[in-house]
Amino acid sequence: MVEEKMRYSDADLAEFKEIIVNKIEKAKSDLELIKSAYMNDLNNGTDDTSPTFKAFEEGSETMSKEANSQLAIRQEKFIRDLKNALFRVENKTYGVCKVTGKLISKERLKIVPHATMSIEAKNLQR
């Protein structure tokens, strides 16, 4: 009887850690761009003081700020999930499905490094 692996090797975990750290750095960079967009950090112009009538533009601008705010919230959650994945790498529980207890495929983890469930478990949820 072949015993199924219960965790990834230290070499695999090191590879996943590198992927996760790179994703965190990119996600933080993206978050800063999103935040600066909705906070208008880069806009010191006089657009908001000119007396022209531009209700549609203002409405569009407000919707854009709301959309960017939602993007920022999602990005913060993504970063939190990646940091949690990094914690699982450190305590060597990374890549174990929380539902089935089996290893999540390497292919899935490379694409979705913060995954906590295997495709099998995700399909059971439907």
**Residue 3: pLDDT band by 50, 70, 90 thresholds?**
very low
Give residue 2's pLDDT: 40
The span from the first CA to the last CA of the chain, in angstroms, equals 32
Give residue 64's pLDDT: 76
Give residue 47's pLDDT: 52
- Look at residue 4 and tell me whether its pLDDT is greater than 70: no
Please enumerate in sequence order all residues whose Cβ is within 8 A of that of 68, keeping only pairs 6 or more positions apart, or say none: 34, 35, 37, 38
Query: pLDDT above 90 covers what percent of the chain?
Result: 62
- What's the pTM? 0.77
DSSP 36-89: HHHHTTT--SSTTTS----HHHHHHHHHHHHHHHHHHHHHHHHHHHHHHHHHHH
What sign does the CA torsion over 67, 69, 70, 76 have? positive
- Look at residue 41 and tell me whether its pLDDT is greater than 50: no
- Cα separation, 6 vs 27, in Å, equals 30
Angle at 23 between CA 28 and CA 82, to 5 degrees: 85
Helix axes 10-39, 55-90, angle to 10 degrees: 160
The pLDDT tens digits of the residues spanning 62-118 come to 667 788 889 999 999 999 999 999 999 999 999 999 999 999 999 999 999 999 999
